[in-house]
Structure 1
Amino acid sequence: MDNALPSAASAGAPAAPRRRASQDEAGRRRRAALAAARLYVCVDLSRDLPDLLAFADAAFRGGVDILQVRDKSAESRAEVEALRALRPVADAHGALLAANDRADVAVLAGVDVLHLGQGDLTTADARALVGSEVLVGRSTRTEEQMHEAASDPGIDYFCTGPVWATPTKPDRAPVGLDLPRAAARAEAEPAGAGEDPAASKPFFAIGGIDLARVPEVLAVGAQRIVVVRAVAEAADPEAAARALRDALTAEA
């Protein structure tokens, strides 16, 4: 009788398929959550960690679907630590967690989403680092950029803006409502020959949006928004998030 133990290679052979299956499942789960998302909030690291976790818990209770840590002045170590601490909070609410700009931070922190600006990594380079299971978003400021993002197979969603002037992007002139209007029009166009009609990408209007401006955003066909101050600077983040979500879904 051959009592030899299986070799290390043969014993570990199933690991790669299992890992790929797990990654594929994570990607499907994240993309399903993105498809249903309406409210996306960005927060900086000006709070201490306990306050940040309390804020996130309140924002998720109010209906935030995606929370992004975006702080251009923060050291990468601080971003990784904050995102790792936020991971179980997001998981408890079934929400998505996002990193901004840095693919290395996204990988180390185990986030769901990497958001990129126009001057950040190319989609191919970002995918080489984060893999296929992490969602990738892209900021757009022109119709050309918007169409590029919409047609890029490696991009999962894009943002259009800033719609209105915002102190979080002081160097960016507002683009107005024409860009989200064009994105909504493109999203509503029938699919061409050979295209999947269900494959249209979610887009989010961003920049200077608050509760009073939600009706204007909805009127041009945008159904999803990104906000910063409207929730991050609210005295009651849970109530602020709930009011925004109610406004977004009132006519759904």
Structure 2
Amino acid sequence: MNPVDLRLYGIIDPERTGGRDPVELVRQAVSGGATLIQYRDKHAEGRHLVELARTLKAALEGTRVPLLVNDRVDIALAAGADGVHLGQDDMHPNDARDLLGPRAIIGLTLKTPEQADRMGSIPVDYGCIGGVFATVSKNNPAPAIGLDGLRKILPHARLANRGPIGAIAGIDVSNAQAVIAAGADGIAVISALFMAADPKAEARRLRGIVDQALTSRGGFP
């Protein structure tokens, strides 16, 4: 299992940048304390996806912050990304691991306790539970699970997998502390970070909230 720091997991989606350069926004977020970056783009063509993923990877050079690609194992391979994040309907993690190799980071979206239970038999490095709160960053017909849903799924994920477990959807400075207090190891953030007027400052605020909440809970750091 590969170590992954999920404390502040920034998901960059060109549709959620306010028309600004995603590469510069990622640089700012990492400078402010983001610990992991995922590139997500549901609409771009393959060549553009590879080019931007390569540019993002180059921008993260020397920061020790990994770059993951959402859904697309082929794009991650072509761009030399550090791994992928997979949904329940994407390529099976076994196949992704075979293609990407043992050192790649593979994450998995978890929406139910049953999905969390199955983590024990598949080669993933972390899970991300969601959507916790309502969000406009993704077209998701399923209702938000809330903190109660997060608390329900987390024990299943802990028993099945030794990797960290994060939370996603609708998380910002108003509720990040509650998410960590509920048991998550980190937060995945899209709009609250990359639609912010100052992503570096917002990353610093979010990271501070997460670190303080983890310390209060007796967890990492």
Distance 1:164 1:114, change over 3 A: same
Deviation readout 1:104-140 (Å, 9 max, x if unpaired)? 0010011112011011111122122212221111111
Q: d(CA) in 2 for partners of 1:177 and 1:232?
A: 23
Match 1:67 to one of 12, 37, 41: 37
- Say yes or no: does 1:230 pair with 2:206: no
Give the match for residue 246 of structure 1. 208
Give the match for residue 146 of structure 1. 116
Q: Which entry has the higher C-alpha Rg, 1 or 2?
A: 1
Q: d(CA) in 1 for partners of 2:82 and 2:31?
A: 19
Q: Is the CA contact 1:162–1:207 (under 8 Å) kept in the aligned structure 2?
A: yes
SS of 1:93's partner is coil
Give the match for residue 126 of structure 1. 96
Q: Is the CA contact 1:165–1:208 (under 8 Å) kept in the aligned structure 2?
A: yes
Q: d(CA) in 1 for partners of 2:157 and 2:42?
A: 31
Give the letter aligned to residue 182 of structure 2. Answer: V
TM-score where L is the length of structure 1: 0.78
Give the match for residue 178 of structure 2. 216
Give the match for residue 112 of structure 1. 82
- Say yes or no: does 1:159 pair with 2:128: yes
In the TM superposition, residue 219 of structure 1 has moved relative to its aligned partner by 2.2
Q: Is the CA contact 1:40–1:65 (under 8 Å) kept in the aligned structure 2?
A: yes
Give the match for residue 73 of structure 2. 103
Structure 2, unaligned stretches of length 5 or more?
216-221
State how many pairs are aligned: 212
Output the aligned Cα RMSD. Answer: 2.2
Distance 1:90 1:49, change over 3 A: farther
Q: Percent identity, aligned pairs only? A: 36
Q: Is the CA contact 1:163–1:207 (under 8 Å) kept in the aligned structure 2?
A: yes
Give the match for residue 44 of structure 1. 13
Which of the pair has the greater relative contact order for Cα pairs under 8 Å at 6+ separation?
A: 2
TM-score where L is the length of structure 2: 0.88
Q: Is the CA contact 2:23–2:55 (under 8 Å) kept in the aligned structure 1?
A: yes
Q: Is the CA contact 1:185–1:221 (under 8 Å) kept in the aligned structure 2?
A: no
Q: d(CA) in 2 for partners of 1:178 and 1:74?
A: 35
In the TM superposition, residue 37 of structure 1 has moved relative to its aligned partner by 3.4
Give the match for residue 93 of structure 1. 63
Instruction: Report runs of 4+ in structure 1 exceeding 3 Å deviation.
Output: 46-50, 182-189
Deviation readout 1:31-70 (Å, 9 max, x if unpaired)? 23x1x33110111134699822211110100111111111
In the TM superposition, residue 204 of structure 1 has moved relative to its aligned partner by 0.7
Give the match for residue 185 of structure 1. 155
What are the residue-to-residue correspondences of 1:198-217 with 2, within 5 Å?
Answer: 200-217=162-179
Task: Using the TM superposition, name which of 180-189 and 169-178 deviates more.
Answer: 180-189
Q: Is the CA contact 1:69–1:100 (under 8 Å) kept in the aligned structure 2?
A: yes
